[in-house]
Structure 1
Amino acid sequence: MLKALAGRTVIVTGGSKGIGKGIARRFGAAGLNVLVVSRSLTEAQATAAEIGPNASGFAADVSDPEQCKAFAQAALDRYGRIDVLCANAGIFPAAKLDVMTVEDFDAVMNVNLKGTFLSVAAVLPAMKAAKWGRIVVTSSITGPITGYPGWAHYGASKAGQLGFVRTACIELAPWGITVNAVMPGNIKTEGLDGLGADYLAKMESSIPLKRLGSVEDIANGALFFASEEAGFITGQTLVIDGGQVLPESLMALEEMAVV
């Protein structure tokens, strides 16, 4: 049982949908004040309303340093403290290398990698003053471990996040701030709606546990990294993928016993 986190404040970027929404809801259920950050104020406020009176929404683009400073200030104005940052905002437009443009590449890097840096930089003054903080980055298995056609820019951004984590954790350790990353596999979100049962079944067939992950699976990992119990864990990654990256071939999955 995790020690109480109630009363602390978390900022969740990209918190209005998908994994970010799951993280925001899980932290709200744990009793934290939640600032849901999204490029859409309407969507951020809608998610905050689902969480309850301890949550509120804020519109910001994490690739803009001034907007990141603004969401940090909003958290301080509304809740008086910043304890946890879940740097979750990310985009994943597909483009294979023969058609990918410089603009395509830069757009992904600006949100996924630069946005992580800018979000962390924005919360540091408050965390350093408190001499306590938890930073949880949402990376991916794609890039650091696996690859997928059309996502070279996305994979590079997600691998880059882990390089950032490994140095940031050293720099911030003197202030009692930990920096860790969750690495989701295939997770069932609204982004998969409309792809059809056959497509989802094919995705599930590559996972030893034979199901897609839920946003709650990722949120529980993020909540652990934010806890007091995880205070001696920093610079680490947690793969949450149902064992997807482990089989060396499809034959290994075919050899699984049917229970």
Structure 2
Amino acid sequence: MELSDRITVITGGARGIGAEIAAELAAQGATLVLTDIIEDELQKTVEDFKGKNVKVEGVTLDVGNEQQVIDAFKYIGEKYGTIHILINNAGISPKVNGKRRSTHEIPLDEWESVLNVNLTGTFLCTRESLPYMQRGGWGRIVNISSLAGRTSGRIAGSHYSASKSGMGGFTRTVASEYGSYGITANCIAPGRIESPMTKTATEEANQKFISEIPVGRSGTPKEVASLVSYLCSEKAGYITGTTVDINGGIFMV
């Protein structure tokens, strides 16, 4: 129960990787505040956790809306007194008939929407969490990036790759600015993980991707969640400003 009573905010926490991260951190004793824009799925996930005696609350939130983020984090901070852990997991990757748009086909509104959720949302939630972590002298920020931000978008579009690549630079700067407060900031870059997002791609595209992975399979949300749990622990206090790849060996550095 290493994270006992740690107030933990997870964006995009209603399903997939976000919900699995929530389960993993709850097992370590964390108090969860799950946010998501999909209200019905969020409430279902919250009720499921409550049925397992997890300390959890759901807050409907569009992470790309500045005022909603300000209001949500003010509410969380006032109710719980602080914020210890932030997992920036919310993200979108638009497809058309299961396929990405090539760069010359991407309309500006779609480009801006992807960057607004994936990158600006990460900035806004981090910005609103940092003062609480500073006052408490301890914090963990884990940003869920992507293999697409480390190499190129095999299935995702260039807007998704750009947003996830930008997340790495943002994370390194936050780590350098706030390390003296006991705050660490790291990225995790998953490859092909079984999740609702991967199902938006065609079966053919997914199978081609898997055929190129050295371990011969997709990853699981639980494997990502286990890594997140470690980075949130005291054991990882000397790890900051890095991007940890979890991709079955398809990209190696």
Q: 1:148-184 deviations in whole A, cap 9, x for unaligned? A: 2651111011000001011111111121111001000
**What residue is the counterpart of 2:41 in the other structure?**
43
Separation in structure 2 between the aligned mates of residue 170 and residue 237 of structure 1, nearest angstrom: 14
Separation in structure 2 between the aligned mates of residue 106 and residue 197 of structure 1, nearest angstrom: 27
**What residue is the counterpart of 2:115 in the other structure?**
109
Partner residue of 1:212 out of 212, 218, 222: 218
SS at 1:190 equivalent: coil
Matches within 5 A, 1:36-185: 36-52=34-50, 53-93=54-94, 94-148=100-154, 151-185=157-191
Separation in structure 1 between the aligned mates of residue 198 and residue 177 of structure 2, nearest angstrom: 38
Aligned residue identity for 1:24: A
SS at 1:61 equivalent: coil
**What residue is the counterpart of 1:21 in the other structure?**
19
Aligned residue identity for 2:224: I
Separation in structure 1 between the aligned mates of residue 136 and residue 252 of structure 2, nearest angstrom: 40
1:176–1:242 CA distance, 2 compared to 1 (3 A): same
Instruction: Report how far residue 208 of structure 1 moved.
Output: 1.1
Aligned residue identity for 2:58: G
Q: 1:47-87 deviations in whole A, cap 9, x for unaligned? A: 12222340111011111122112222332344333110001
Aligned residue identity for 1:106: E
1:209–1:135 CA distance, 2 compared to 1 (3 A): same
Aligned residue identity for 1:157: S
Higher mean Cα deviation, 151-160 or 93-102?
A: 93-102
Separation in structure 2 between the aligned mates of residue 114 and residue 196 of structure 1, nearest angstrom: 28
Contact 1:33 1:54 in 2 (8 A): yes
Separation in structure 1 between the aligned mates of residue 178 and residue 38 of structure 2, nearest angstrom: 31
Aligned residue identity for 1:174: S
**What residue is the counterpart of 1:254 in the other structure?**
none
Matches within 5 A, 1:224-243: 224-243=230-249
Fraction of identical pairs, as percent: 35
Q: Which ranges of structure 2 fall in alignment gaps of 5 or more residues?
A: 95-99
Partner residue of 1:203 out of 209, 216, 224: 209
Separation in structure 1 between the aligned mates of residue 201 and residue 123 of structure 2, nearest angstrom: 33
Partner residue of 2:251 out of 234, 245, 251: 245
Contact 2:93 2:156 in 1 (8 A): no
- Structure with greater Cα Rg: 1
Aligned residue identity for 2:69: C
Higher mean Cα deviation, 34-43 or 186-195?
A: 186-195
How many equivalent pairs are there? 245
1:243–1:133 CA distance, 2 compared to 1 (3 A): same
Contact 1:36 1:45 in 2 (8 A): no
Instruction: Report how far residue 19 of structure 1 moved.
Output: 1.3
Instruction: Report how far residue 98 of structure 1 moved.
Output: 2.1
Q: 1:130-164 deviations in whole A, cap 9, x for unaligned? A: 01100000000102223326511110110000010
Contact 1:12 1:20 in 2 (8 A): yes
**What residue is the counterpart of 1:256 in the other structure?**
none
Question: What TM-score do the two structures reach when normalised by structure 2?
Answer: 0.90
Question: What TM-score do the two structures reach when normalised by structure 1?
Answer: 0.88
Separation in structure 2 between the aligned mates of residue 235 and residue 190 of structure 1, nearest angstrom: 28
